[in-house]
Amino acid sequence: MRVLFVGDSMTIGAGGDHTWRYRMWQHLTRTTPHGSCAIVGPRTALHEDSHAYADPGFPHHARAHLAGWGAGWLHMAPVIEETVATYRADTLLVSLGLIDLGFYADAEQTLANAELFLARARAANPTVRAVLLPVIPNVRAATDPEFAAECVRFNTLLAKAVAELSEPRSPLLLASAPADWSPERDTYDGTHPSAEGEHRMAAAFAEALHQAWDVGGPYRAAPAL
């Protein structure tokens, strides 16, 4: 299994973060046979090209990703085909949409960009599979009803699209969003995940992989190595 993490600032992380990618790497290392899972992608740095991960022992090869600060479906759709082809990714773990809805597009256009992303990923690998995380509203949603409604609208459209576009040879999963996500507990600034939030995001992907495809096992939070 060759896993590609795709996401925005919640996925790339900033200097001093562990990132949910790290938590997911820990989980896969514990729960999959040795050598059966590789983390792939063109980037390894945190935001602003920092390499100051909270755990300096996080192996360089496991830091790989396709994530960017301020990135959305809009930005990832044009680059996913080449990335999947180059790194031979077969499993995509994707957390995108917050930036699109917040700055670039409405729910319908964001869905169109997501569908384009999936089509291009399949053009590179017709058997690629993907787990998609619904948009987790940030603190802005608490004070901007229009934005909050757009997040709900997009998540509804995304769920329908996943059901319609999933194929036996190229399955799609919609992960369950972390229940009762709290910006106070699960983020450190209203958007970006705290340690608790990192674990909860990783758990959402881990549970989807385990329950649908028997990859890994139930998620168990572990301290930094």
Calpha distance 148→141 (Å, rounded): 5
What beta strand segments (E) does the chain contain? 2-7, 38-40, 66-67, 91-95, 129-132, 172-174
In the predicted model, is pLDDT for residue 222 greater than 80?
no
pLDDT digits (tens, 9 = 90+) for 164-208: 999 999 999 999 999 889 999 999 999 999 999 999 999 999 999
Calpha distance 157→173 (Å, rounded): 14
Predicted local confidence at residue 224, as pLDDT: 46
Domains of the chain: 2-213 (3.40.50.1110)
CA nearest 74: which of 44, 115, 126? 115
In the predicted model, is pLDDT for residue 27 greater than 80?
yes
Q: Taking a C-beta distance cutoff of 8 angstroms, is the pair 200, 148 a contact?
A: no
| Helices and strands (H and E) in the chain: how many | 8, 6
Calpha distance 10→99 (Å, rounded): 10
Calpha distance 74→78 (Å, rounded): 8
pLDDT digits (tens, 9 = 90+) for 70-93: 999 999 999 999 999 999 999 999
Calpha distance 190→52 (Å, rounded): 22
Cα angle for residues 213, 117, 107 (degrees, 5° grid) = 100
Predicted local confidence at residue 17, as pLDDT: 98
Supply 200's token pair.
């909860």
Predicted local confidence at residue 223, as pLDDT: 53
What are 92's strand-pairing partners?
4, 130
DSSP class of 140: G
Calpha distance 200→151 (Å, rounded): 19
In the predicted model, is pLDDT for residue 28 greater than 90?
yes
Type of residue numbered 49: D
Query: DSSP 3-state assignment of 80?
Result: helix
Q: Taking a C-beta distance cutoff of 8 angstroms, is the pair 115, 73 a contact?
A: no
In the predicted model, is pLDDT for residue 225 greater than 90?
no
Predicted local confidence at residue 68, as pLDDT: 98
Predicted local confidence at residue 221, as pLDDT: 78
pLDDT digits (tens, 9 = 90+) for 114-172: 999 999 999 999 999 999 999 999 999 989 999 999 999 999 999 999 999 999 999 99
Q: Taking a C-beta distance cutoff of 8 angstroms, is the pair 95, 11 a contact?
A: yes
